[in-house]
Structure 1
Amino acid sequence: MKSTIKDVARMANVSISTVSRVLNNPDIVVKDKRDKVLQAVKELNYSPNALAIGLIHKRTKTLGVLIPDISNLFYAEVIKGMEDAAHESGNNLIICNTDNNEERRLSSLKVLSEKQIDGIVFTSEPIFPDSYEVFKRLNIPIVLAATHSLEYDIPSVKVDDEQAAYDATDYLIKKGHTKIGMISGSMLDPISGLPRIQGFLRAHRAHNIELVPEDRIEYGKYLFEDSYKAMKALHTKFPEMTAVFATSDERALAAISYLHEHKVKIPDEVSVIGFDNTRMAGMCFPKLTTVAQPLYEMGSQAIKMLDSLINGVALDEMRSYMNHWIVERDSVKQFNQV
């Protein structure tokens, strides 16, 4: 049977409050009593309850992380970065998969509150008013990763999605492509949908390439199956395209799969560029050229920011933007106009 603080107090012949003081502020306890308590702790192999210690110090050394879909490979490296940074700072993580569902998101926040966590990292999704109200009631530090909020003063870390999409499109145009299609998330998504569409369109304007967005952009969810359907619809309405910008690696792999099954050679006939640089980008055939996000560093930075806030350290900037870059592999080639 597991020893309790009462057992320690009985063996050391001291009060429970004395045991508590030895465990949490030993310098204020006289040496002989302190030694008796520590000896009893050792003999009984007593391990104080972490939550109880947290209540004393008003810290549980536990952080919550809300992920919209943990099956998405985007989060593998992000969470690894979070875990390593949490371990380094002496924190533990509770990962909650919200499944892009409002009810599950609010339920997860309730559970995290009950666990008396010290802070939360909220990823990818927009901050809706109902979530913000819960954040205010929790009254603990919040950091956003791979998302941000212009409405609320919540610290965030992400890449500049609009500029990253511009750079991806600009890269294709400089490779000679002017007939570029796009598989994108919804324009109603203010985090990665609309900004990447805006970057795509801005690059065309910068190169004086006219286009009708409805003719060259297909919208859909991020899952492979939905992206495959989007690529099919795009290829049907825009068969003359010579390149595709897919706004995630999973979307890009769906595009490659569709084109391969329909005997379209990649990149000889159609080039494909993705977004994220997840592990799968280097595993497919042809290997995927993509816009890289520093996924591991983003997760690590979010935890470091959160730990600083918990410890009362002011952040240098409210909204932190990380660098992105293009990783060239085999799915894009120079297009030479005849």
Structure 2
Amino acid sequence: MKSTIRDVAVMAGVSISTVSRVMNAPNSVVKHKREKVLEAIKALQYKPNGLARGLIYKKTNTLGVIIPDIQNPYYAGVIRGMEDASKALGYSIMICNTDRDEKRLFSYMQNLNEKRVDGILYTSDVVYPDFYEEIEAYRIPLVLVATHSLEYELPSVKINDEAAAYDAVKYLISLGHTSIGMISFELTDEIAGLPRYEGFQRALREYELEACVQQVAFAKHWHDDAYYAAERLLQQYPDITAIFTTSDEFAMGVLSYMHEKGIRVPEQMSVIGFDNIRMAQFTIPKLSTIAQPVYNMGYRAVEKLNALIKGEPDSTLREYLPHELIVRSSTGPQAARS
């Protein structure tokens, strides 16, 4: 049978409140009593119940992490950053995968509230009005990660997706490509779909390539969707010599399609991705991409959430971290396709 705080108090000959103070504010207890309590804790191998302590002190040192797709390798770096920051700041994390299902999302929100998490990290999804109402009702501090909300005053950490997409397409243009296509998330995706498409458009119009704006095929969230999107795109626009994709997974689907159709990359087709997941440097050829600082986003989001929990001021509500163009061997100068 596990020892209780009452057992420790009896063995040490002190009150339960004294044992509690030794565990939470040891300097407030005189030395001889503190030593007796510590000896009793060691002898009884007493381990305090974290949930019970959380109910008493209204702090569980636990953060909830809500992600939309645990199979997506993009989130590995984000979560690693969250985990390292949480450990450094004395928190543990609970990961909840929603699969972009609203019922699962609200179920997780209820569970996290019941477990009295100190705060929530909400990743890569839109903040809809009913979800915001839920946040307000629970009064749980929340930080958005790899997403933001212009409608609600919620702190966030992400990159500038529009500017990052612009840089990717501008790079393809600098290589001499004048017929550029895009494989995009649906434009109803306000986080990674619409802003990246807007960056694609801006670069083309700036360099007087407006005819390319319509050269877009849409996919969902997997490389096999992008494979078939590449097929549709090239059937409709066979003169394309470069493709910008809104994720590295999409780019991998495109590379697979090119390989099967005998289209050489980058000699006949340049392909650039978005995210710089770990596998991007192991594709054949290695993938040029836009690097998101996923680890830093995760780490910084926990720091912002910690400050929010403690009631500390944050001078930047919507924080943007820098992206980086990573040039590898999947992109090259324009060449005629046979």
- Once the two structures are superposed, the pairs formed by residues 30-179 of structure 1 within 5 Å of their partners are 30-179=30-179
Cα distance in structure 2, aligned partners of 1:80 and 1:4:
35
Asked whether the equivalents of residues 4 and 46 of structure 2 are also in contact (C-alpha less than 8 Å), the reply is: yes
- Report the Cα offset of residue 5 of structure 1: 1.1
Structure 2 residue aligned with 1:275: 274
- Greater shift, 14-23 or 309-318, is seen at 14-23
Please give the alpha-carbon distance, in whole angstroms, between the structure 2 residues aligned to 1:192 and 1:262: 28
For 2:52 and 2:181, the matched residues in 1 are separated by 57
Deviations 1:217-247 (A, max 9, x none): 0011021111111111111111110000011
Unaligned stretches of 5+ residues in structure 2: none
Q: Which moved more, 1:16-25 or 1:176-185?
A: 16-25
Q: CA deviation at 1:336?
A: 5.0
TM-score normalized with structure 1 length = 0.96
Matches within 5 A, 1:247-266: 247-266=246-265
Q: Partner letter of residue 191 of structure 2?
A: I
Q: For the Cα contact (< 8 Å) 1:119–1:142, is it kept in 2?
A: yes
Greater mean deviation of Cα atoms: 136-145 or 271-280: 136-145
1:183 equivalent to 2:183? Answer yes
The one-character-per-residue Cα deviations of 1:27-81 (angstroms, maximum 9, x if unpaired) are 4444443333222112111111112222333211100100100110101111111
Aligned-partner Cα distance in 1 for 2:185–2:248 = 13
Amino acid aligned to 2:228: K
User: What amino acid is aligned across from residue 312 of structure 2 in structure 1?
Assistant: V
**What is the rounded CA distance, in whole Å, between the counterparts of 1:148 and 1:220 in structure 2?**
22
Higher mean alpha-carbon deviation, 88-97 vs 36-45, is at 36-45
SS of alignment partner, residue 144 of structure 1 = strand
Contact map agreement 2:291 2:325 (CA 8 A) in 1: yes
Report if aligned partners of 1:176, 1:337 keep a CA contact under 8 Å in 2.
Answer: no
Change (3 A) 1:25 1:117: same
How many Å separate the matches in 2 of 1:57 and 1:129? 31
Answer whether contact 2:273 2:287 (CA < 8 A) is retained. Answer: yes
- Retained in 2: the 8 A contact 1:158–1:298? yes
Match status 1:327 vs 2:311: no
1:252-274 per-residue CA deviation (whole Å, 9 max, x = no partner) reads 00001001101111111111000
Query: How far 1:20 sits from its partner (Å)?
Result: 2.4
Q: Deviations over 1:7-34 (max 9, x none)?
A: 1122123332332233333444444433
Tell me, yes or no, if the aligned pair for 1:160 and 1:321 is still in contact at 8 Å.
yes
Alpha-carbon distance in 2 for matches of 1:263, 1:32: 80
Letter in 1 for 2:107: S
For residues 210 and 309 of structure 2, the distance between their equivalents in structure 1, rounded to whole angstroms, comes to 50
The separation in 1 between residues aligned to 2:336 and 2:28, in whole angstroms, is 82
Paired AA for residue 173 in structure 1: I
Aligned to 2:244: 245
Report the AA paired with residue 262 of structure 2: K
What does residue 296 of structure 2 align with? 297
In 2, the alpha carbon distance for the partners of 1:115 and 1:208 equals 55
CA distance in 1, matches of 2:35, 2:324: 58
Equivalent residue, structure 2, for 1:227: 226
